[in-house]
């Protein structure tokens, strides 16, 4: 038996189709030893289309639903149990796909209200959305207390970190934005890096990966008026990707 390979790269192909294939520069055959100790493989490209329903290349059970995270798995093919097929599931990798005892998790995708799969780029444990997704727009941003941004619709349960943006317009001379690990309180000042400004104008803080260890997923920040004359007239909270903690554990 050959060694297991690196997990496949997922590629967004269209609003209805995601492909899985070996990463560039790797052998075209992807091999994975699954829970029963059997090594299964596929060569070339597998596809996922949730509109197929319960079928290889589709879902584990049921029919496609809109605004849904689908967790993608390599599973034994119906046609040949030693060959891998791909199926999506609403069940995350803490449990695995419905009806399968042998599976390998390879990533997550989401569709929108029109059942269109969101475009993304994937490499290893990193997923970058092709378009920044607006989570919230604040006409009058909260200052001086924690703001929890719910991210269940923007990163999957498997995300260890969210690629999070905070944009705001400030009129003043001195302020700070603090980030906190999920569940931390306002007293936990040592939590996570801060961004600062000293002049008025638009502030587009460089996006960073912030830990999202709890479920449901969220990011917590606090704006402070350190200069005493700083005012916030608008803010926008965005997400543009995530790191998948389950892929960090399983890629070989």
Residue range 111-125, pLDDT digits in tens: 999 999 999 999 999
Cβ atoms of 241 and 119 closer than 8 Å: no
14 plus 89 within the same structural domain: yes
Say if 1 falls within a structural domain: no
- Confidence band (pLDDT; 50, 70, 90) for 201? low
Q: Residue 239 sits in a domain of what CATH number?
A: 2.60.120
Say if 4 falls within a structural domain: no
Q: Which one of 85, 105, 124 terminates a domain?
A: 124
Dist CA 110 CA 124 (whole Å) = 18
31 plus 115 within the same structural domain: yes
Identify the residue whose tokens are 């829970």. Answer: 35
Q: For 53-102, how does the pLDDT look when each residue is reduced to its tens digit (9 = 90+)?
A: 999 999 999 999 999 999 999 999 999 999 999 999 999 999 999 999 99
CA-based nearest residue to 73, from 121, 15, 112, 32: 32
Quick one: pLDDT at residue 249? Answer: 54
Q: For 37-46, how does the pLDDT look when each residue is reduced to its tens digit (9 = 90+)?
A: 999 999 999 9
The count of structural domains within the chain is 2
Q: Which one of 108, 124, 140 terminates a domain?
A: 124
Q: Which one of 69, 97, 124 terminates a domain?
A: 124
57 plus 84 within the same structural domain: yes
41 plus 108 within the same structural domain: yes
44 plus 136 within the same structural domain: no
Range of the domain at 168: 132-245
Say if 174 falls within a structural domain: yes
Dist CA 247 CA 125 (whole Å) = 5
Whether residue 223 has pLDDT greater than 90: no
147 plus 184 within the same structural domain: yes
């Amino acid at each position: 038996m050959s060694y297991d390979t690196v997990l496949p790269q997922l590629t967004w192909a269209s609003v209805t189709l995601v492909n899985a294939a070996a990463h560039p520069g790797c052998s075209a055959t992807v091999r994975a030893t699954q829970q029963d100790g059997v090594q299964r493989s596929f060569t070339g490209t597998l596809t996922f289309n949730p509109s197929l329903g319960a079928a290889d290349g589709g879902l584990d059970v049921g029919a496609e639903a809109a605004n849904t995270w689908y967790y993608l798995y390599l599973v034994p093919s119906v046609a040949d149990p030693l060959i891998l097929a791909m199926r999506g599931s609403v069940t995350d990798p803490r449990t695995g796909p419905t009806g399968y005892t042998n599976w390998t998790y390879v990533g997550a995708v989401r569709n929108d209200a029109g059942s269109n799969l969101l475009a993304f780029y994937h490499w290893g444990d990193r997923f970058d959305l092709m378009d920044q997704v607006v989570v919230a727009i604040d006409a009058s941003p909260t200052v001086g207390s924690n703001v929890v941004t719910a991210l269940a619709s923007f990163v999957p349960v498997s995300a260890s970190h969210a690629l999070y943006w905070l944009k705001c317009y400030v009129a003043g001379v001195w302020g700070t934005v603090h980030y906190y690990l999920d569940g931390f309180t306002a007293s936990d000042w040592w939590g996570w890096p801060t961004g600062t400004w000293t002049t008025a104008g638009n502030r587009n803080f460089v996006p960073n990966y912030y830990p999202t260890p709890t479920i449901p997923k969220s990011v917590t920040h606090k704006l402070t008026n350190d200069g005493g004359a700083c005012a916030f007239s608008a803010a926008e909270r965005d997400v543009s990707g995530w790191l998948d903690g389950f892929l960090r554990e399983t890629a070989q």
